[in-house]
């Protein structure tokens, strides 16, 4: 089944405080996070980042409706991208493609596999992948993590 989608971004990099506020605003009851630093990853966790978690190289928030990604830019600011199945994000600039999504199951490997870092944390939830495609070309531009509803 395909659904229409929204892909948006913040035109100006956000400060850590602005990013943390945006994350708190977008967090829902069933939201998970993943953070990357130069020397470690967080695993998939339910804890909202605080300013003490920064600087980090990048991170993401995901739930059933959307995935928010942030990436270090410079001087402790972050570029932000939103991948969503809802279209009510007027505070983001839209990437002007005709987007649609396809969802597929995702599989997390057991801790005995060596595909993840040692002691990688992940919850017992049904994680899926959401493919964001351009309707004109059917090209996949983004793959987001999402949760089964």
Give the tens place of pLDDT for each residue, 93-132: 999 888 999 998 877 666 566 555 555 556 677 788 999 9
Question: What gap in Å lies between CA 31 and CA 128, rounded to an integer?
Answer: 13
Domain boundaries, the chain: 2-147
Q: What is the pLDDT of residues 12-29, one digit of tens each?
A: 999 999 999 999 999 998
pTM for the model: 0.87
* Phi, psi at 55, each rounded to 5°: -80, 145
Q: Quote the pLDDT of residue 15.
A: 96
pLDDT tens by residue, 57-87: 999 999 999 999 999 999 999 999 999 998 7
What is the structure's pLDDT at 71?
97
Residues 6+ apart with CB under 8 A from 34: 41, 42, 43, 44, 45, 59, 60, 62, 145
**Does residue 5 surpass a pLDDT of 80?**
yes
Asked if residues 41 and 35 have their Cβ atoms less than 8 Å apart, the reply is: yes
Query: How does DSSP assign 89-137, residue by residue?
Result: -TTSEEP-S-EEEEEEE--PPPTTSTTS-TT----SS-EEEEEEEETTT
Residue 57 is encoded by which pair of tokens? 């190289």
Mean pLDDT calculated for residue range 127-144: 92
Is 91 a residue whose pLDDT tops 70? yes
């Amino acid at each position: 089944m395909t659904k229409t989608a929204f892909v948006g971004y913040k035109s100006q990099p956000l400060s850590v405080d602005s990013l943390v506020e945006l994350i708190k605003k977008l967090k829902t009851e069933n939201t998970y996070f993943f953070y990357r630093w130069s020397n470690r990853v967080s695993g998939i966790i339910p804890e909202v980042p605080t300013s003490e978690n920064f600087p980090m190289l990048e991170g993401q928030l995901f739930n059933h409706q959307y995935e928010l990604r942030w990436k270090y830019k410079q001087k402790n600011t972050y570029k932000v991208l939103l991948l969503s199945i809802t279209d009510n994000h007027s505070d983001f600039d839209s990437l002007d493609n005709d987007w649609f999504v396809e969802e597929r199951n995702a599989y997390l490997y057991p801790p005995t596999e060596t595909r993840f870092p040692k002691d990688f944390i992940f919850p017992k939830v049904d994680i899926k992948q959401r493919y964001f495609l351009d309707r004109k070309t059917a090209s996949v531009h983004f793959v987001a993590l999402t949760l089964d509803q």
